[in-house]
Amino acid sequence: MVTEKGVNLLHKNENDRKCLINSKDYWSFRSKYYDKTNWVRDLSFLNSLLSLLPHNSYKSVLDVGVGTGVVAEALISKSRRIFGIDISEEMMKNLDKRISKIVADAHFLPFKENIFDLIVMRNVLHYLNDPKAVFAEIKRCLFRGGGFLFAMVIPFEDEISEEYDWLIGRDIHYPTKSEILLLFKSFKILRVKEFILKSQSIMNWLNNTVNNEDKKKEIFQRHLNASDLYKRLVSFVTKDGDIFVDIKHLMIFAQNEV
């Protein structure tokens, strides 16, 4: 059972997580290859996410953990004003000029109360020290009735959560669907969707996210040794020296209280 405490303890080993994910070198390396990871610019993913939006135009939009700006760019035609914040200046280096970029931590959004009618956050949750604090910040900056569009990769089933974290090998926890839904307690969830990216290459993902050959080999081998349950859930296939798996995302459109 997932408890409130469980949500607070999203990261198993805080010291390891800080070393890896908060290091400047980590995001500096990732920024060079980020857009080459297949899922990042996948149009079916983007279209599926944007289809959750109830309106076609927004006054003021914020992308939290904007990265290279893929989601924010897709919103340019829908809003007069788009902001992107990220802790990594390098990730935002080539951000579209129409997006106002600010180097900031999601735990301390550098904005006043009630100023956005839409806030988006895709695949950032697993990097946050205190997800509850970030959700509170998002709520604070949203208009009453404003929308929060959220997407996050999740394990196929909650029961393989521990194995999933081990397979990815980053010493961070990938929140489960139950843990994520708890974080939305103070929002009104209007739409929930599970989106599956079919047959994603593990080599493509490793080559663009890991800069150590031994680590790549280790994580690849972990996938080969994964449980039958994991392999069945993700439609695991090996082909031409690569592994292909389905990746599940949870997408949520929620509203701040009116």
Ligand X SMILES: C[S@@+](CC[C@H](N)C(=O)[O-])C[C@H]1O[C@@H](n2cnc3c(N)ncnc32)[C@H](O)[C@@H]1O
Residues found near ligand X in the complex (CB under 6 A): 27, 40, 65-67, 70-71, 85-88, 91, 105-107, 122-124, 127-128
Q: With respect to ligand X, which residue has the nearer C-beta, 122 or 177?
A: 122
Q: Which residues on adjacent β-strands are paired with residue 196?
A: 248
Q: Give 130: exposed, middle or buried? Use CB within 10 Å, 0-12, 13-18, 19+.
A: middle
> Closest CB to ligand X among 10 and 70?
70
Task: For residue 166, give the amino acid letter.
Answer: W
Helices then strands, each counted (H, E), the chain: 11, 8
Q: Which amino acid is at 221?
A: Q
Tell me how far CA of residue 242 lies from CA of 45, 118, 152, 224, 227, in angstroms: 22, 39, 24, 10, 18
d(CA 1, CA 88): 35
Q: Which residue is nearest to ligand X (CB)?
A: 67
Token digits of residue 83: 């902001």
Least distance to ligand X from the beta carbon of 30, Å? 7
Burial class (CB in 10 A: 0-12, 13-18, 19+), 157: middle
Beta bridge mates, 248:
154, 196
> Judged by CB, which is closer to ligand X: 131, or 146?
131
- Comparison of 45 and 58: residue with beta carbon closer to ligand X: 45
> What is the nearest approach in angstroms of ligand X to the Cβ of residue 227?
26
**Least gap, CB of 68 to ligand X (angstroms):** 6
Shortest CB 204 distance to ligand X, Å: 15
**Closer CB to ligand X, 106 or 141, in the complex:** 106
For the four alpha carbons of 197, 198, 201 and 202, in that order, the dihedral sign comes to positive
Q: Output 52 or 224, the one with its CB closest to ligand X.
A: 52
Distance CA(91)–CA(40), nearest Å, equals 13
Minimal distance, residue 49 CB to ligand X, in Å: 9
Q: Which residue's CB is nearer to ligand X, number 20 or number 189?
A: 20
How far from 151 is each of 97, 148, 177, 253, CA to CA, in Å?
Answer: 24, 10, 11, 9
User: At its nearest, how many Å lie between ligand X and the CB of residue 106?
Assistant: 3
State the minimum distance, in angstroms, from the CB of residue 75 to ligand X: 12
